[in-house]
């Protein structure tokens, strides 16, 4: 369980010559930090008379950001499992008969599809965090608006990072309809979140004066 | 010590209504993850016959990225200390005499200068990681080029995040020469690292095909 590991030890593992944890785990952590900072801004907005008008909306944002944080924390481990499954499939004996060869190929292809969908789901979760960060930057406690700005940058970095893992695995998938469909979904997530991130960061800089 | 804390507990603290850890800590972790991924790419490049030609350069990159990772991990705690010092100074009794008032103001201003320099140093370290990530994307093991891409995005997100904390504290500094000087340094870091990040991410996407 990545979440019970000490931060320093996790960074040591990330830096090591082992392939996991790697960029996929870092992507999930960036997203989870973004979600946590959205929650922080919500927690420092709820109950303040000055923000009573937005309290219901901010409570809803908090419920969503805490759910996303849990999902993104879980995604750190999902990335390792998906990578290990691909490596395991490539490591299977190559087989002598056509049937055995086809079976190995099918297992590799199935593992690659999962290893495409896992970072795509991480990308989707990060894109959701970007949207919530926009709301907290617009309506949350002004004293912590810089934290909303960090939230949006962390979540967007998570999305850009997960995107690379979608691409690297989609490239080797023979079912091109599957691969192209996933890449199209990814592009639309990137486009929307990119625009929201830019807008939100500018809002935060303006509010900081 | 933030590095001995479990990742999940750190995210819980980040999400809580306490002001620290906040965006400054998240910025430092983003930078440290970027440095760790640069190190990972170096560790998977060194010793490989195919990359013998760049081995000396990559060994140098690894030494620098590991130093930056240690400094950025330390910066998580520095951010908390700098924030607490500002809050402590604002919390001093306002005083009745002009002398007492001036003393409180001086302490607040001194704390704000430190709270500007601490995230500026974090920003500088992140900008160094961006430069190293560019080298690993260009010359490191092609099998892990996506990790070099994640490294550059993590480090740049750390820089953009630290930048907000520089701005928020610089704004309240009365010594405008000091504040404007720090903001000018920040702008030049952002400009150079922004261009390098964009270029590096494109290189990685091209190599992924």
Burial tier of A203 (Cβ tally within 10 Å: 0-12, 13-18, 19+): middle
**Closest of A173, A199, A160, A192 to residue A27, by C-alpha:** A160
- What proportion of chain A, given as a percentage, has pLDDT over 70? 100
| Inter-residue contact B122 to B24 (CB < 8 Å) | yes
User: What's the confidence (pLDDT) of residue B209?
Assistant: 84
Question: Residue A33 and residue B29: Cβ atoms within 8 Å?
Answer: yes
Confidence category of residue A1, pLDDT binned at 50, 70, 90: low
pLDDT in tens, A111-169: 999 999 999 999 999 999 999 999 999 999 999 999 999 999 999 999 999 999 999 99
**Closest of B83, B1, B76 to residue B35, by C-alpha:** B76
Which residues of A are less than 8 Å from B23 in CB distance? 37, 146-147, 149-151
Burial tier of B7 (Cβ tally within 10 Å: 0-12, 13-18, 19+): buried
Whether the pLDDT of residue A199 is over 80: the answer is yes
User: What's the confidence (pLDDT) of residue B111?
Assistant: 98
Burial A44-54 (b: 16+ CB within 10 A, else e): bbbeeeebeeb
Average pLDDT over residues A69-91: 95
Interface predicted TM-score of the whole assembly (ipTM), two decimals: 0.96
Residue A23: C-alpha distances to residues A42, B64, B65 (Å):
29, 20, 16
Question: Residue A6 and residue B6: Cβ atoms within 8 Å?
Answer: yes
Confidence category of residue B1, pLDDT binned at 50, 70, 90: low
Distance between A106 CA and the closest CA of chain B, angstroms? 22
pLDDT in tens, B70-113: 999 999 999 999 999 999 999 999 889 999 999 999 999 999 99
For chain B positions 21-50, those within 8 Å of chain A (CB to CB) are 22-23, 26-27, 29-30, 32-33, 35-37, 39-40, 43-44
Most B-contacting residue of A2, A17, A176 (CB-CB within 10 A), to test interface:
A17
Quote the pTM value: 0.97
Confidence category of residue A19, pLDDT binned at 50, 70, 90: confident
Confidence category of residue B19, pLDDT binned at 50, 70, 90: confident
Instruction: Count how many residues are written for chain B.
Output: 209
């Amino acid at each position: 369980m990545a979440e019970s590991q000490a931060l320093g030890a996790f960074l040591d593992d990330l830096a090591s010559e082992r392939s996991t944890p790697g960029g996929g785990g870092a992507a999930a952590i960036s997203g989870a930090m973004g979600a946590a900072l959205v929650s922080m801004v919500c927690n420092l907005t709820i109950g303040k008379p000055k923000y009573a008008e937005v309290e219901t909306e901010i409570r809803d944002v908090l419920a969503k950001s805490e759910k996303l944080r849990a999902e993104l924390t879980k995604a750190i481990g999902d990335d390792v499992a998906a990578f290990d499954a691909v490596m395991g499939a490539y490591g299977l004996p190559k087989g002598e008969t056509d049937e055995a060869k086809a079976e190995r190929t099918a297992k590799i292809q199935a593992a690659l599809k999962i290893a495409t969908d896992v970072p795509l789901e991480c990308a989707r979760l990060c894109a959701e965090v970007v949207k919530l960060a926009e709301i907290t930057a617009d309506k949350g406690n002004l004293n912590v608006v810089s934290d909303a700005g960090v939230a949006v940058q962390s979540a967007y970095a998570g999305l850009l990072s997960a995107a690379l893992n979608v691409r690297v695995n989609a490239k080797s998938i023979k079912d091109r309809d599957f691969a192209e469909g996933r890449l199209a979904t990814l592009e639309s997530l990137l486009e929307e979140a990119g625009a929201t991130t830019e807008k939100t960061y500018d809002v935060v800089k303006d509010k900081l004066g």
